[in-house]
Amino acid sequence: MPYYYSLGQKPQKRHTQFRKPDGSLYSEELFSTEGFSNDYSLLYHVYPPTQIIRTENPVDVAPRIAEEKMLKHRSFEGFNIKPAADFLESRIPVLVNNDVHIVLASPQKSLLDYYYKNADADELIFVHEGTGTLKTMYGDLPFSYGDYLIIPRGTIYQVDFNTAHNRLFIVESFSPIRFPRKYLSKYGQLLEHSPYFERDLRPPQNLQTHTEKGDFLVRTKKKGVLYNIHYAGHPFDVIGWDGCCYPYAFSIHDFEPITGRVHQPPPVHQTFEANNFVVCSFVPRLFDYHPLSIPAPYNHSNIDSDEVLYYVDGDFMSRKNVTRGMITLHPAGIPHGPHPGTVEKSIGAKETKELAVMVDTFHPLMLTQQAIEIEKPGYTESWIE
């Protein structure tokens, strides 16, 4: 939940008359991802957001599962996902379960010919390569390398890239993406020990109210099906809004690492949480300062979670043969740890420049056919000395 924010024009009191210059009423919409029981925003539209003029045949876009059950470490070359011009066609699901879909994308062109809405899932879009602007009914969110874009489900958006080569790591969450409870006061403020602060969050800006009428295609995903829905009014016709449910940006470069005398466990890197999974940020940081410390992580048993690491940049001292955009999957049920030789090599190191995003799920992940196509063989046996 971001903090309360407001843009544009609004009536003094909610659910009251708010009239246009011509005397007709603006159309109020309550926007929430959990009904009437949690965070929400109130948006004021020039036209009712319900004016559908036609629909088209739906398209099945559900992930194609290749392996539902498995118990071995896996590695995938994420940058082997082929670029595609269209934003939606570029999105390739690789690891999925009922709580979360992990998706790779390399779109070459901006999403400006139509609008997109994920009606099922909040989206976390991590920008690995590329710059541009996320355009929504709430306003604009400029983005660049290292940004997390958090988009509540149901948000209608477009993406305007400034670049032709773009790489995105996307997490689709079937429950709201939140700040970790351990970072929040009982009133919802980020606490002093949190590794980031409200000031680090970037809300939408530059709200532009579009009053065009016509035929506007909003491609809407629901239950693995893409519906083409045409509306009579421009989706970005909002004159003003306020509340606590809206898209925002947070840069991984603004995450302040928590360090100690000895190696700190992964929960200190936690950045977001949702139902049955968490997201962590591994950022450049000083290593442990106990005189006998071992900077490399210790072996640990994955008993109740699948661990996914997406390698962004830098030198990963606990892993060999790491490439940018690589994904490793360490499933629940078998231990994993640093590669042979990396423990001794890490002793005496003062800092790391690594940058990575981790997703830990508490239900097993399934591999898609596209994941099998980019798998790097031999990773399971890479701990043999």
Using CB atoms within 10 Å of the CB of residue 344, give its burial: 0 to 12 exposed, 13 to 18 middle, 19+ buried. Answer: exposed
Q: Which two tokens stand for residue 343?
A: 């423990």
- Alpha carbon distance 267, 304 (integer Å): 15
- Alpha carbon distance 41, 173 (integer Å): 20
The catalytic residue among 101, 263, 330, 339 is 263
Dihedral angle at the C-alpha atoms of 117, 42, 152, 201, nearest 10 degrees? 130
**Residues tagged in the binding site annotation:** 300, 306, 336
CB contact at 8 A, 204 and 149: no
**Residues tagged in the binding site annotation for Fe cation:** 300, 306, 336
- Alpha carbon distance 213, 206 (integer Å): 21
CB contact at 8 A, 247 and 157: yes
Is residue 45 annotated as part of the catalytic site, yes or no? no
- Alpha carbon distance 119, 152 (integer Å): 9
Burial 203-242 (b: 16+ CB within 10 A, else e): bbeebebeeeeeebbbbbbeeeebbebbbebbbbbbbbbb
> Which of the residues are catalytic?
263
